[in-house]
Structure 1
C-alpha cells in the first residue's frame, strides 16, 4: 500500500488575520465569491469588504441559508456561475465551509475556508457532509483535493463560546489513539493509503499539545481573550488533528460517536463531546494501560468533557438501547473495523459500560 499524506495548500493563523484576507486570496483568484450565514455576515462583512477594497479586488457576498443541502448548493452554484467567480470563500461554521467546498468541487475553482470556530477538525479535509433541507444526514461528498487555503483568525475564534473550543479539543483527543490503532492494523486511511511518518507525528503532537494547553486555553476563551495556549489549541484542533485524522486514519472512537447518535438523550451534545467519550471507550476496548485511561479521564474532567453516560444526559443505563449503540458502532463499513483486532457489538457494549464506570469514579 502506498503511503499518502494530504493537506490544504496553505494554512494561515493569527490574530486579526481576517483584515488581510484580500491579500491572501489575491494570488489564487481575482473575482471571489464569499458565503456566510446571517450571524457571521453581521460579524465580519465590514472587515472582509474593507480588506478586498484595500487589495483592489471586487467582492461578491451571498448569504448562506444555514443548511449544507443539495438545493442550497445548487442555489449558490448558480449565483457563483452568474458572477463568474474564480474562487469561493466560505466563512463560518462547518456547514458553511462544506458548502463552499462543494461549490469549489463542482465549478473546479479554488476554495478558501475561514472557520469562525475551532470545534472540529473538518476545515482542512477533502470531505463535505451533505444534509437534507430538513437537517438530516444525506451523504458524504468525497472531494479529490483539500481546500486551497485555510485562514484562522484567532481573535474571532477566541470570542466564540468556550464550549465550542472544548468540543474541538474532544474531537482532537481521539486523533492520536485512532492513528495508533490504524498503524497497528495496517488499515487504509481516508487519504487512500498507508499513513506517513509525518502524519503519525502530527497525530501524536496533537495529543501532546492539547494535554499541555487545553485547560489554559479554555480559561482564556472563557474571558473572550486569546493567548499562546489558545493559539496552540486552535492549531491542534484544526490543522494537527485534521491532517492526523485524514492521513493517519479513524478507528473506534468516531464509530462509537456515530453509535451514540442512536441515543436521543445525546442529541444536545456537540460532535467532539461524544467523540471524547468514544475515545475513552476505545481505550477500554483495546485494554490500554490504566495510567493512560486515567490521564484521559482526568483531562476530560478538567475541561468539562463527558467521562460517563450520565454526563452525556443518559439517566438510565438501558442495556437494550446501549446494545443498539454498540451494533450501530459495528455496522458494515464503520471505522471501528480499523482496530487491530476483531470487534463485536458485545465487546463494544462491555467497553461502554466499563468506560462509564471508570469515568464515574471520583
Structure 2
C-alpha cells in the first residue's frame, strides 16, 4: 500500500497577515463568501474590506450559526449559490473552519482558512467534523483536498482568550501519541493510505515543541503579546498537529473525545480540552510508562488542561454514564480501532477510570 502526506496549498503565518488577504487570494476567486461569527465579524470585517478596497472583487459576508452541522452547511450552500460565489473564506475557530471546508467541497470552489484562534488542528486538514445542531458528534466528512490557503495572523491569535490557545495545545498533545499507535498497528491515516515517515517526524516535533514552549507561550498570550514561543506554539497547534494527525493517523484520543460528547456535563468544554483527557485515557489503555504519563499530566496541569473527570465537569461519577461514553468511543468506524490491540467498551471504561485516578494523584 502507498504512503501519503497531505498539506494545504499554502501555509502563511505572521504578524498582521490578514491585511495582505487580497494579495494572497488574488488568483483564487472573484466573489468571496466570507464566513465569521458575529463577534469575529466585528473584529475582522473592516480589515478584510480594507484589504480588498478598490479591487475588482466582491465580498459576501455571512454570520456562522455556531455548529458545523449538515443543516448549517446546506444553509450556506444556498447563500453561496444565490450570490454566485466562486470561493469561500472562513474566519474563526474549528467548527466554523470545518463548515467553510464542507461548503467548498460541495460547491467545488476554493477555500481560504483564517483561524482567529489556535485552538484546534483543524485548519490544515482535508476533514470536516460534523455535529448535530445540539453539538453531539455526528460523523467525519473526509474531503478530497486540503484547503487552498491557511493564513495565520499571529497578532489576532495572540489576542484571543487564553483558554482557547491552551485548548489548541490539548488537541495537539494527542498528535504524537495517536500517530505512534497508528505506526505500531500499521493503520491507515485519514487519507486512506499508510503514513509517510515525514508525518511521524512532524508529530514528534509537535510534542517536543509543546513541552519546550507551551508554558512560556501561555504566559505571553495572557499578556496579549507575541513572542517566539507563541509563534512556535501557533505553528505546533495548527500546522505540525494538522499535518501530523491527518497524515499520521488518529487512534484512541479523538474517539474518546467523541465519546464524551454524549454527556451534557461536558458540552461546556472545548474540543482540545476533551482531547487532552482522551489522550490520558489512551495512555492508560496502552499501559504507557509511568514516567511518560507523569510528564503528560504535569504539563497539562501547568497549562490548565483537565486530567480528571471532575475537571471535565463530571461532579458525580455514574458508572452507567461512563459506560455510555465508552460505548460511543467504540462506535462502528471509530478511530479507536487503530490502536495496536483489541479494544472493547469495557477496556475503554477501565482506562477512563484509571486515567481519572492517575490525574487525581497529581492534583
TM over 0.5: yes
Q: What residue is the counterpart of 1:11 in the other structure?
A: 11
Describe the shift of the 1:96–1:314 C-alpha distance in structure 2 as closer, same or farther (beyond 3 A): closer
Shift of 1:221: 1.0
Partner of 1:142: 142
Which residue is 2:245 aligned to? Answer: 245
**Aligned equivalent of 1:300:** 300
Q: 1:271 to 1:53 in 2, by over 3 A?
A: same
Measured in 1, the distance between the counterparts of 2:140 and 2:250 equals: 16
Change (3 A) 1:143 1:266: same
Name the CA distance, whole Å, in 2 between partners of 1:190 and 1:264.
Answer: 28
1:90 aligns to what? 90
Query: Whole-Å Cα distance in 1 between the matches of residues 188 and 176 of structure 2?
Result: 16
Report the counterpart of residue 324 of structure 1 in structure 2: 324
What do the CA deviations read for 1:164-193 (whole angstroms, capped 9, x no partner)? 010110010010000000000011110110
Name 2:125's counterpart in structure 1.
125
In structure 2, the partner of 1:275 is 275
- 1:101 Cα deviation from its structure 2 partner: 1.4
Aligned to 1:155: 155
- Residues 119 and 166 of structure 1 are in contact (CA less than 8 Å); yes or no, is this contact kept in structure 2? yes
Aligned to 2:344: 344
Quick check: 255-264 or 225-234, which moved more? 255-264
**Contact kept in structure 1, 2:9 and 2:146, CA below 8 Å:** yes
CA 1:137/1:259 → structure 2, altered by over 3 Å: closer, same or farther? Answer: closer
Compared CA separation, residues 254 and 136, structure 1 to 2 (3 A): closer
CA drift of 1:110 comes to 1.1
Q: What is the match of residue 58 of structure 1?
A: 57
d(CA) in 2 for partners of 1:251, 1:130 = 18
Quote the offset at 1:334 in angstroms. 1.5
Aligned to 2:209: 209
> CA–CA distance in 2 between the matches of 1:130 and 1:290?
35
Determine the structure 1 residue equivalent to 2:78. 78
How many Å separate the matches in 2 of 1:135 and 1:281? Answer: 22
* Preserved contact between residue 31 and residue 57 of structure 1 (Cα < 8 Å): no
Structure 1 residues 218-229: aligned runs within 5 Å:
218-229=218-229
Gaps of 5+ in 2: none
Task: Supply the distance in 1 between the matched residues of 2:84 and 2:319 (Cα, whole angstroms).
Answer: 56
User: Residue 343 and residue 217 in structure 1: after superposition, are their counterparts in 2 closer, same or farther (change >3 A)?
Assistant: same
Which 10-residue stretch deviates more, 180-189 or 22-31?
22-31
SS of residue in 2 equivalent to 1:113: strand
Q: After TM superposition, give the deviation of residue 349 of structure 1 in Å.
A: 2.0
Alignment match, 2:291: 291
User: Residue 361 of structure 2 aligns with which residue?
Assistant: 361
State the TM-score, normalizing by the size of structure 1.
0.94
SS of the equivalent of 2:268 reads coil
SS in 1 for 2:146: coil
Unaligned runs of 5+ in 1: none
Alignment deviations for residues 277-334 of structure 1 (CA, whole Å, 9 cap, x no partner): 1111111111111111110010001011111112212223322222222222222222
- CA distance in 2 between partners of 1:335 and 1:91 (Å): 28
CA distance in 2, matches of 1:133, 1:274: 19
Secondary structure of 1:200's counterpart equals helix
Mapped to 2, the partners of 1:316 and 1:235 lie a distance apart of: 38
How far apart are residue 96 of structure 1 and its match? 2.4
User: How far did 1:89 drift?
Assistant: 1.0
Structure 1 residues 204-223: Cα deviation after superposition (integer angstroms, max 9, x where no partner)? 01100111111111111111
Q: Secondary structure at the match of 2:244?
A: helix
Other structure's SS at 2:46 match? helix
- Measure, in 1, the Cα distance between the counterparts of 2:142 and 2:126: 6
For residues 212 and 315 of structure 1, what CA distance do their matches in structure 2 show?
Answer: 33
- Aligned to 2:3, what secondary structure does the other structure show? coil
* Separation in structure 2 between the aligned mates of residue 272 and residue 106 of structure 1, nearest angstrom: 27
Cα distance between partner residues in 2 of 1:121 and 1:31: 28
Match of 2:183 in 1: 183
